[in-house]
Structure 1
């Protein structure tokens, strides 16, 4: 059976969207076909316990950050040969894809690089753009999340590599994220039963737009006085959000959960009537949303979604069918759509049902993992 070596910095138990993306794809590949070479993590006991549970070998580097150095490249080549792998899958094309020529000389017949949001940012910087071109020329296929990231990466890598790019976004576990995911229990625990709830599940950083939700909240409360904004997640921006809620006089109707375990995210999605994350592009386009899988997880849970217009976020929303896209920095536009959605139960049900159906048809992990299998084996039609 063909075997693939995954070379990645992004692998559990370290938490994050890319980590879950790679792991969910890896565990759905054919048995015996995967070997992982990953960086270490600060919690060695958690790493050892996690690795022991995996259905494939996991080789950890001594460093907490894999870079395409000579030492790391040699180690990747050693694992490639020792495990009999004929394909290499870079969990993030930039910068690990710079190892591609050496690994091809070591015996790799195919090399695939996954791209995420940060490669689209690299494409705007002259030096990083040149590195992206080298990565594109050294690999057989670069994947992309959606049209936003494809267009920017394609312009950087050149026509040959651009023609070999393939669409491969992350998926949704529709069995975990569903309308009966446990939202009622979360509502009861937080004292939100019988109150309209707008929920945002995300890392708490400026790009995600939780501050715009708070800025919009006074207008929402004038139309729906019992409404609650439920902010789920942790991050460095959390203290500023608490201050902003107090400054805008809405602290009593904004609930912050802080970080929650990964296993409870679906239930927290389900605690809302509407999902909203009005993400915005920052730093001249260098801080941008790659896709926004949380919108699709909310859709799978049966919620209408409100997204910001940053980067590839609109790719995760069918405008007017599963939700709406608004300017991420516009509190007025956010308030207008939230007031509409909270005031129209039939609309919420229709958009939520459409979203659930869309996820089942196009965003399930098993469908996307099958597509990846085809890319790893050279069968792009899979």
Structure 2
């Protein structure tokens, strides 16, 4: 394997699907051949110590009053490439990091691979200048890796010249998710959160646009009329937190909601095993769609049935009527309540969906299989 530099703007302990995906890709490679360049973070020291690969933390951009801000990152990459004898660069996001890799290739003849996560595709398609830069950068890449077939189609809609370069590498749940935590830990949590005799719904994501929390709040207000012993766990934080809280209070759901907040990725597993059902009503928002949804894969790995909102690559993560249910939250809003109540009322049906999802994760969503798709590039 070549000496590899991975450049990312999102990396643990930041919580999120992209950060986790980058860490998982790095962890699946030969650690002695990998260097990760990531943003500084106050709580990064303990995380970085546990990694077998090398992590370099830097302030990647100049302050806003200095332009172009990415010049600082360019010089950091230049020094690392020289010092670490880098042979290939992995960049996460086409712009702006890909532009730096393009310059490095021109100057030092170091090839690069682009990992695109979806948000950069929307940005690239927004303006002609960015579309031109994205195309220039992408055409010189060895390959462009996306996390779903749907994202591949969206990328080719914006940049159709790239059809021969695009490959799909799905994210995968950590192997640890397949094994339940000790029963004593789950029982302790049930006691702490007063869950005796309760049915538990779990949602885990950034509280942001396109995650469907307002839709689920409205549905929960109706669901508690039929299932008064239901409890909804929310794990995450984000810009819509206050709005979600206000809506919960408006619908008198305080006694049915447990807001946990942001949870480190290595601690979130126990909440999946605490739940009876995972629900996240993702939906398109202003041209942005879900890339795939790592949380859907994690829920499946723990054996949870999933109810997901139709958006982007979600239907590749959740197979409708086989490993869960996929609902168009705009066109099928009435189905949200019906689907949740039906699975809470029918544990056998829920268990069948959950078992099928877990089996699919074990058979298809393993890093050994996914990385093999790009082994010729490594």
Matches within 5 A, 1:168-183: 168-180=169-181, 183=186
Partners of 1:155 and 1:110 in 2: how far apart?
A: 25
More divergent stretch after superposition (297-306 vs 233-242): 233-242
**1:112 aligned counterpart, secondary structure:** strand
More divergent stretch after superposition (114-123 vs 344-353): 114-123
Q: TM-score, normalised by structure 2?
A: 0.90
**2:234 aligned counterpart, secondary structure:** strand
1:255 has 2:258 as partner: yes
1:272 has 2:275 as partner: yes
Matches within 5 A, 1:312-327: 312-327=313-328
- CA contact 1:51–1:58 (8 Å) conserved in 2: yes
Distance 1:177 1:242, change over 3 A: farther
Matched length: 370
Partners of 2:47 and 2:62 in 1: how far apart?
A: 18
Deviation at 1:192, TM superposition (A): 1.0
Instruction: Report what 2:103 is aligned to.
Output: 102
Instruction: Report what 2:36 is aligned to.
Output: 36
Partners of 2:35 and 2:159 in 1: how far apart?
A: 28
1:141 has 2:143 as partner: yes
Partners of 1:362 and 1:59 in 2: how far apart?
A: 32
CA RMSD of aligned residues (A): 2.3
Distance 1:56 1:263, change over 3 A: closer
Deviation at 1:52, TM superposition (A): 4.1
Instruction: Report what 1:289 is aligned to.
Output: 290
Matches within 5 A, 1:218-237: 218-237=221-240
- CA contact 1:199–1:272 (8 Å) conserved in 2: yes
Partners of 1:263 and 1:116 in 2: how far apart?
A: 22
- CA contact 2:303–2:355 (8 Å) conserved in 1: yes
Instruction: Report what 1:300 is aligned to.
Output: 301
Q: Deviations over 1:115-155 (max 9, x none)?
A: 00203322531333223212211211001111221111112
Deviation at 1:321, TM superposition (A): 0.6
Instruction: Report what 2:209 is aligned to.
Output: 206
Q: Deviations over 1:252-311 (max 9, x none)?
A: 22222222333221111111111000012112x1x3221111011111111110001122
Q: Deviations over 1:63-110 (max 9, x none)?
A: 368988344223312321221111110022332111233222344443
Query: Which of the residues 352, 355, 358 maps onto 2:360?
Result: 358
Deviation at 1:332, TM superposition (A): 1.9
Query: Which of the residues 58, 61, 64 maps onto 1:61?
Result: 58
- CA contact 1:171–1:363 (8 Å) conserved in 2: yes
**1:206 aligned counterpart, secondary structure:** coil
Matches within 5 A, 1:333-352: 333-352=335-354
Partners of 2:253 and 2:76 in 1: how far apart?
A: 54
